Each structure stands twice: as C-alpha cells, then as structure tokens.
Amino acid sequence: MAKIAIPLADEFEDSEFAVPYARLREADHEVTVFGTGAGEVVTGKRGNASHRVEAEAAALDPDDFDALVIPGGHSPDKLRLDADVVDFIRRFFATGKPVAAICHGPQLLIEAGLVKGKTLTSWPSVRTDLINAGAYWVDQEVAIDGSLITSRKPDDLPAFCKSLLEALP
C-alpha cells in the first residue's frame, strides 16, 4: 500500500480529483488530501465533487508519502499562492518519487520552479507558461519524464491513472 498526497482547493476539476482518488483507493492505497486549511470542505468547479481537506501543507513531511497527484481546474492557481503548499511540492519533488499532474496541475510545478528542462503536457492554455518556464511541451495523452507524469485533460484520465498506478511501489 502506497501513501499518496493530493493538494486541493476550491474549483478543482471534479473528475481530475474524483477519478484518480477512486482508482487509488480501489487499489488499496492511502490518500491524504491537503491544502491551506485542515477541515475546510472544498468543492469542484462543476459542483459534482467535494472533499474535506485533511491536513495543512505545513504539517506534512514529504518523506511520509510515496507519490503526489495534482488535479487541475482552478485549484492549482489558487494553491500556487500559498507558500507552504509550494514548499511541500518542491520538497516532495526532490525525493524523486512519482509526481503526477493533470490539466492545470503543472501550474504548481511552475510556481515551485520544477519544470525547466522537463518534458510535460497540460491543458493547452498552460502550454506557453510551461515553455516560458523552460519546459518542453508535448501534445499527447501522457508525458513521462523521470518521476514526472503529466496529462492534458479529463479525457486522458484512463491513461493518466494507469501510468500513475504503474509508477507506485
């Protein structure tokens, strides 16, 4: 059983949280949702999913987790303004363990300064931001660069989840 951390704030893309969360739980992995305020209930931008934030980023140790999954929607843009969330992302990435981001999720990786020289994919509107931050952007279902797994959109969720589950211990 692996332990997975998922950063989440209001207006996340419902399916990009709910589907990986469900697949991870179905595979008997432990998932911790974290954000800016423990106990806060955050809601997806489509109103189809909500979840309670279980921990604040500042209270977590990256060494306690086996992977990080960053859903898209507006959540990454909100979370990139929180220094503790960005610091956790940066420290987790340094462990070399799997980091999976979908859609707008790479915005958090940009904020943490982690994309330079990496090959990623994302929602098309994040492409220029990634390129400006030094990444190589590709338009494909899943891009894997070392421990980094990225996908473009909800339609890519089956391939995204498959790649994520294969990367877990």
Catalytic residues: 103
Burial of 118-145, coded b for 16+ CB within 10 Å and e otherwise, reads bbbbbbeebbebbeebebebbeebbbbe
| The one-letter amino acid at 162 | K
* Tokens of residue 18, six digits: 């709910």
DSSP assignment, residue 168?
Answer: -
- Nearest residue to 167 via CA among 89, 69, 35, 26: 69
